[in-house]
Amino acid sequence: MAAAAGPADLATIAKKWKDKRGSLIMALHDLQGRYGYVPRDAAQELGKHLDVPLARIYEVITFYNYFKLEAPGKHIISVCMGTACYLKGAPEIIAKLSDKLGVKAGETTPDKQFHLQQVRCIGCCGLAPVVTVNEKVLAKVKAADVVDQVYACTKGA
């Protein structure tokens, strides 16, 4: 997630997808991969390269859950809300984290350190409830320990 991505990246992304039909979503994945979200200017620029109206880009970005319009915090905490995780206490985990961080799911802390979000089933139901912190997966999490576990993951990062 490079913050210092620039126009050169955009041109590369556009070049990679320009000749493939219907590649807008793939190009947006690449864009978000570089920036961590889809900045408005970048979307506009990408649209020019791909010859896609901004209207179409926003229709798509706001339809799909995966795309973010604002820069998330440094650490992304995702609480799985699949059925197994839900039954095994994911709501309590969300509540605990939300309480501790002072933000609701889908929000970023004011100091931009943490972004708390709910995610759809990540397919690890056997390990429910599951929380991911950036790339790290925490399995069989208990609401009582979750805050410490999350902090442990982000220490030094």
Among 1, 5, 105, 124, binds another protein (CB under 8 A): 124
Write down the least CB distance from residue 9 to another protein, Å: 19
- The verdict on 145 binding another protein (CB under 8 A) reads no
The residues in 68-107 that bind another protein, with binding defined as CB under 8 A, are 81-84, 86-87
Asked if residue 137 lies in contact with residue 124, where contact means CB atoms within 8 angstroms, the answer is yes
* 67-76 CB burial, b ≥16 within 10 A, e <16: bbeebbbbbb
Write down the least CB distance from residue 137 to another protein, Å: 4
CA–CA gap between residue 41 and residue 69 (Å, rounded): 11
Instruction: Pick between residue 103 and residue 131 the one whose CB is nearest to another protein.
Output: 131
Strand, coil or helix: what is 17? helix
Instruction: Pick between residue 112 and residue 120 the one whose CB is nearest to another protein.
Output: 120
